[in-house]
Amino acid sequence: MILKIDGKFFKMFSFFFLLTIINIITFGATLTVDNPNARVGVPIKITVEFTDEKKDDYKIEGIENFQSMGKSSRSQSSWINGKSSKSYSEIYTVLPLNEGVFDLILNVNGKKVSDKVTINVSKNNKINTENSYVTTDNSQYKREYYMGEKIPYFEKLIVRTSLNNYGYTGQPVFTDFNFKDLTPRNNQGSPIVKRINTPSGEALEVLIKEGVLEANFSGEKNIVSGLISYTEAKESDFFNISTSEPKYVGGKDISIKIIPLPEEGKPNNFQNIVGSSLKGEVNWDNKASIDVGQSFVLKLRLYGDVNLEFLNTIPFDNQDFNIYQSITNYSEKIINGKYEANKDFEIAFIPRKNGKLKTPDIKLSYFDVNEKKYKDLVIEGKNIEVIGETIPTTTPKSPIVNNNTSNPNSTTVEKNIIEIKTLPTNDTKVNNNLLIIIGILGVIVIVEGGIIVKLLYDKKRKTKNYKGFFKNMKNSKDDKEFYENYCIYMKEKYNFSPKAHFEDILLKNGANEKILEINRYISQALFKNEKLDFKKIIDILRKNS
């Protein structure tokens, strides 16, 4: 069978085929990257540009391999040979997180419309900051650390120029570590700043992150320091609004090796006290003698660069006393880059019999990371004369902690961690019901008082009027004046300074995600010298005030 194609059909087919080819060739879409040889932790810009017609339904395949840091837009018009042309661009700022080779392709309406763009990301992310005006200083770990050891960590910004703004673009990454933030702040909630001398001259040192790490697993570990963005203020700008393009420092790899505690010589019931030294201070009751049934109290402070977090009970080898103990204080801090902890106990010794007795010695085992062996801190007991007759009791000879509270018929036994008190006598039993009633009434009064205070506080807060602040922002003559009024409002509403504080302060003081987004929008717009949308900002602030 022979298919005949007449000339008219062939011409129409040729016309549509040629039109399709022309559309593909002249479709104005390009995909570019400012640095195809990128480095981990150093931002790059990816630009999508359309000619004559802006496309919203597009996708950059492969961009998910990078962390998004922001997006901006721009448009440009031109005349060539009497014909107008317009281009639309969208610029993505992204952060390479992993080493490798990554391909990007522009896809519009499900069709690939650009050439492939290849980005080679290397792990050599060390930025040359030798002559820079802004650098970072981080913890460096030259020795091995043990499981259970508290490890100090800090991040500092060293500044030798005027900054308009700075903050974390990416928080530090502590893989396989627990991190406790102990960053100190001044009275305004801002980071601590001090003047220092460097080889390049005088500088300001900003302590932006400080805390302690504790490893979850042993082995070779890697910490990635936070990536910090900043903008330098121009000398001619009185309000510190006109700035340079954002720059970045940080994102460093920090290596640390964690090793397990040795099993050889490990004491029974070891309570994970690990560090360089454990010390103790004692303060006994100033009594030479006591009656049977009365308490003899020891105030004990344990301290040092050791992990005391898991020490909740002090063990005793005892037959002559009922012993009650409680923790009255526990704190951790970093002083001059070194970790310190202290924990305070109050321990009541109540003699079971009369005579010349001695309280049991206190023996606490800890692992010395310097000498690499287990050691003991020993605190000797105290001699005391006990007078009076022995009180008959069915209590066991040594304290027992009762963890089974589900059986109401079980025999009462002593608990090892309770509030300090003396043994009850027959006189106190008579008043038990009265004490219970007084206690219940006291709790009711406290709860009702708290509810009233909260209601009064909430009412006062809800009636706070911010119309004057919004009016000042609305009537601002330019972006500079608007920004100053915005800062005044944020200080009044959230005790937050957009010029000086990090977003964690804003979040801590009650802001929601909408407020965080608008604060970021304002910062990014000022960075790029883009016009602020006064109405958009005020509407969001008013709805969330």
CA distance 169 to 166: 9
Are the C-beta atoms of residues 112 and 131 closer than 8 Å to each other?
no
CA distance 530 to 58: 24
Identify the band that residue 255 occupies on the pLDDT scale cut at 50, 70 and 90: very high
Rg (alpha carbons) of the chain, rounded to whole number: 35
What's the pLDDT tens digit per position in 486-502?
Answer: 988 988 888 887 765 66
| pLDDT score recorded for residue 182 | 95
- Cα-Cα-Cα-Cα dihedral sign, residues 68, 69, 73, 76: negative
**Percentage of residues in the chain having pLDDT higher than 90:** 36
Q: Which comes out higher in pLDDT, residue 360 or 11?
A: 360
Give pTM, 2 decimals.
0.56
* pLDDT of 17 strictly over 60: no
Strand order in the sheet with 355-358: 289-291, 383-387, 355-358
Q: How confident is the model at residue 544 (pLDDT cuts 50, 70, 90)?
A: confident
Whether residue 251 contacts residue 170, with contact meaning beta carbons closer than 8 Å, is answered with yes
The pLDDT, as a whole number, for residue 130 is: 38
83-92, 152-161, 514-523, range with the lowest pLDDT: 83-92
Of residues 151 and 395, more confidently modeled: 151
Give the DSSP H or E segment for 408.
none
- What is the structure's pLDDT at 332? 96
> To 5 degrees, how large is the angle CA 467–CA 473–CA 475?
100
| Residue 515: closest CA among 486, 485, 482, 481 | 486
Tally of residues, the chain? 545
Per-residue DSSP letter, 404: -
What pLDDT does residue 113 have? 80
- CATH number belonging to domain 134-259: 2.60.40
Q: Is 427's pLDDT higher than 50?
A: no
Distance of CA 137 to the CA centre of its chain: 18
- On average, the pLDDT of the chain sits at 79
Q: How confident is the model at residue 435 (pLDDT cuts 50, 70, 90)?
A: low
For 178-216, b/e burial (b = at least 16 CB within 10 A) is ebeebbeeeeebebeeeeeeeeeeebebbbbbbbbbbbe
What are the DSSP calls for 152-181, one per residue? EEEEEEEESS-EEEEEEEE--EETTEEEEE
Domain residue ranges of the chain, discontinuous segments joined by +? 25-105, 134-259, 274-423, 467-543
pLDDT at 201 over 50: yes
Tell me the mean pLDDT in the region 271-293. 93
Residue 335 has pLDDT above 50, yes or no: yes
